[in-house]
């Protein structure tokens, strides 16, 4: 009997022989194996058994890494669906559901005999006792907030679907500040009370310390947070806690969907319209769509939340494919923020390349009242492009053919697509002219100008450049909270 396995990132499957010393019953779909591959040893993922093969020189499996089912059956089916639907190699898809690759080595294994085993003291606590010590009783650490009539109606409908233990899809369409998160929290609480577990997907940028703190305040150590900035050790620990049922809620960006969670009762996709749910590197898939399929495979409820639903979700709600629940009012009937549109065609409106007189006046007013101001700029770096004022020479990335962004602090031109870098020039490479024009505005320039305009104000910049180090994002948010 031969094992057919997948190896990331190759699109084809490979055959290996399982030695008689290994139990074939241990292998299930998705089980990880160590196999020789050329001159290397690789992790392979078991796909199926085959009785015969025409391939010559079949090699033996070196080791079985998973002696129990590594992933819940619905998750395995989801991974197969992603592979088929998005035309992705099954090995690459399987890899996404496991922590980062560890370093394995084959060692000699010695097993104690029954006679010797009788003389051993059992010092490890039973699993049940260990779980009782590691998991406090399920209880709300902070009381639920009262729901308004619209929230309560949405809550009742979603909970009714959870209690039926079957697939159901909702579109929770609520204006900004309408209390969607509180509905999520109370729905999850009800799912946990029915011994169900929950997955919460949020855009990477939406995975803020405040959101995580709100979940922790409600559910304590019942949650595991998964995001791209975890170290391999932290990611593995979160994965292990979910698999061993030490936590019942997984919250994170796209990858949280692949948490090894059994008994999933509800999947929440917050800000479902956000483009970051669509992964366009490595395995290409849409986490929102995959979440809906996962809910179908798990017999779970999926809730898509948004103040501005995507066109396809809005249409699916219109035709009845999703049940649309609306939250038309903000909590406590708070007014919507006033929005003022400035006509930038009026030259006298400008003070700086990014700052109008109206905005400058508003900043001065809020700072004078001891309040805070947040400015959103859609480009990082100092200036998005560099141009020679004499000959028109542009500095482009040789790999991507896009403008290189000037980063003043590093004195470099950087491609924000592939990461290519070069030192910032002092003259033109084409005509040797020195009249270089830095065009456009980035976050670094805004920070520089605001500090010059308001020297007594504390100014912080939050972008990929300032939050690359671990914990930097949380420190900036904490500083804002402390004022």
What pLDDT, in 10s, does the model give residues 31-71? 899 999 989 999 999 988 888 888 888 999 999 888 777 89
Structural domains in the chain, sorted by start: 2-103 (3.40.1440.60), 149-333 (3.40.50.300), 347-482 (no CATH)
pLDDT, residue 128, reads: 44
In this prediction, residue 332 has a pLDDT band, given cuts at 50, 70 and 90, of confident
Cβ contacts of 453-462, under 8 Å, gap ≥ 24: 453/352, 453/355, 453/360, 454/363, 454/367, 457/367
pLDDT, residue 109, reads: 54
pLDDT, residue 114, reads: 62
d(CA 313, CA 291): 13
Q: How much of the chain exceeds pLDDT 70, in percent?
A: 90
pLDDT, residue 188, reads: 97
Q: Among 68-77, 112-121, 132-141, 295-304, which stretch is predicted with the lowest mean pLDDT? A: 132-141
Residue-wise pLDDT for 350-372, tens only, equals 788 788 888 999 999 999 999 99
Residue with tokens 């010092």: 123
pLDDT, residue 110, reads: 57
d(CA 233, CA 263): 25
Does position 290 have pLDDT exceeding 60, yes or no?
yes
In this prediction, residue 136 has a pLDDT band, given cuts at 50, 70 and 90, of very low
* Tally of CA atoms within 13 A in the half-sphere of 324 that contains its CB: 18
Tokens matching residue 422: 């070069």
pLDDT, residue 121, reads: 42
Residue-wise pLDDT for 207-217, tens only, equals 777 888 899 99
Does position 479 have pLDDT exceeding 90, yes or no?
no
pLDDT, residue 141, reads: 62
Tokens matching residue 437: 């024009």
Q: How much of the chain exceeds pLDDT 90, in percent?
A: 63
Cβ contacts of 459-465, under 8 Å, gap ≥ 24: 463/380, 464/380, 465/380, 465/381, 465/407
Residue-wise pLDDT for 47-56, tens only, equals 888 888 888 8
Q: Among 98-102, 232-236, 271-275, 336-340, which stretch is predicted with the lowest mean pLDDT? A: 98-102
pTM of the model: 0.79
- Mean per-residue pLDDT, 402-421: 94
Does position 335 have pLDDT exceeding 90, yes or no?
no
d(CA 187, CA 155): 6
pLDDT, residue 139, reads: 43
Q: Among 104-118, 129-143, 189-203, which stretch is predicted with the lowest mean pLDDT? A: 129-143
pLDDT, residue 70, reads: 82
pLDDT, residue 206, reads: 66
The mean predicted confidence, pLDDT, of the chain is 88
- Mean per-residue pLDDT, 312-337: 93
pLDDT, residue 106, reads: 47
What does residue 203 show for φ and ψ, rounded to 5 degrees?
-60, 150
In this prediction, residue 432 has a pLDDT band, given cuts at 50, 70 and 90, of very high
pLDDT, residue 21, reads: 82
More confident residue, 271 or 344: 271
Tokens matching residue 282: 């490595």
In this structure, the strands spanning 285-286 and 63-64 are unpaired
pLDDT, residue 464, reads: 87
Please list, in sequence order, all residues whose beta carbon lies within 8 angstroms of the beta carbon of residue 476, skipping any fewer than 6 positions away: 460, 462, 466, 467
């Amino acid at each position: 009997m031969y094992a057919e396995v997948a190896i990331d990132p190759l699109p084809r499957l490979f055959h290996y022989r399982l030695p008689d010393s290994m139990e074939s019953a241990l292998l299930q779909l998705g089980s990880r194996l160590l196999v020789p591959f050329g001159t290397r040893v690789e992790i392979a993922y078991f796909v199926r058994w085959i009785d015969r093969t025409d391939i010559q020189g079949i090699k033996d499996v070196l080791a079985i890494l998973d002696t129990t089912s590594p992933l819940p059956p619905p998750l395995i089916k989801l991974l197969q669906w992603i592979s088929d639907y998005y035309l992705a190699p099954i090995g690459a898809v399987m890899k996404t559901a496991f922590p980062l690759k560890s370093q394995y080595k084959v060692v000699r294994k010695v097993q104690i005999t029954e006679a010797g085993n009788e003389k051993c003291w059992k010092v490890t606590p039973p699993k049940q006792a260990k779980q009782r010590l590691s998991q406090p009783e399920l209880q709300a650490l902070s009381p639920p907030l009262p729901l308004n009539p619209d929230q309560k109606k949405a809550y009742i409908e979603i909970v009714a679907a959870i209690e039926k233990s079957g697939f159901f899809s909702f579109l929770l369409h609520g204006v900004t500040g309408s209390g969607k998160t509180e509905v999520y929290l109370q729905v999850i609480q009800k799912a946990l009370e029915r011994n169900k577990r929950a997955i919460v997907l949020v855009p990477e940028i939406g995975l803020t310390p405040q959101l995580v703190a709100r979940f922790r305040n409600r559910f304590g150590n019942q949650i595991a947070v998964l995001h791209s900035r975890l170290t391999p050790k932290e990611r593995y620990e979160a994965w292990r806690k979910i698999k061993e049922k030490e936590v019942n809620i997984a919250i994170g960006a796209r990858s949280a969907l692949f948490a090894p969670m059994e008994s999933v009762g509800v999947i929440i996709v917050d800000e479902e319209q956000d483009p970051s749910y669509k992964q366009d590197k490595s395995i290409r898939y849409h986490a929102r769509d995959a979440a809906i399929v996962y809910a179908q495979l798990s017999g779970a409820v999926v809730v898509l939340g948004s103040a501005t639903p995507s066109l396809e979700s809005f249409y699916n709600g219109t035709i009845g494919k999703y049940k649309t629940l609306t939250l038309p009012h903000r909590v406590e009937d708070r007014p919507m923020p006033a929005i003022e549109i400035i006509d930038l065609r009026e030259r006298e409106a400008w003070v700086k390349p990014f700052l109008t007189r109206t905005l400058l006046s508003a900043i001065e007013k809020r700072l004078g009242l001891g309040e805070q101001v947040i400015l959103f700029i859609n480009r990082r770096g100092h200036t998005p492009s560099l141009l020679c004022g004499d000959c028109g020479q542009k500095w482009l990335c040789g790999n991507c053919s896009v403008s290189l962004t000037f980063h003043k602090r590093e004195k470099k031109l950087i491609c924000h697509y592939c990461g290519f870098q070069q030192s910032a020039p002092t003259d033109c490479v084409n005509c040797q002219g020195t009249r270089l024009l830095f065009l456009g505005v980035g976050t670094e320039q805004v920070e520089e100008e605001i500090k010059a305009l308001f020297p007594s104000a504390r100014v912080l910049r939050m972008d990929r450049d300032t939050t690359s180090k671990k914990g930097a994002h949380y420190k900036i948010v904490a500083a804002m909270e402390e004022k």
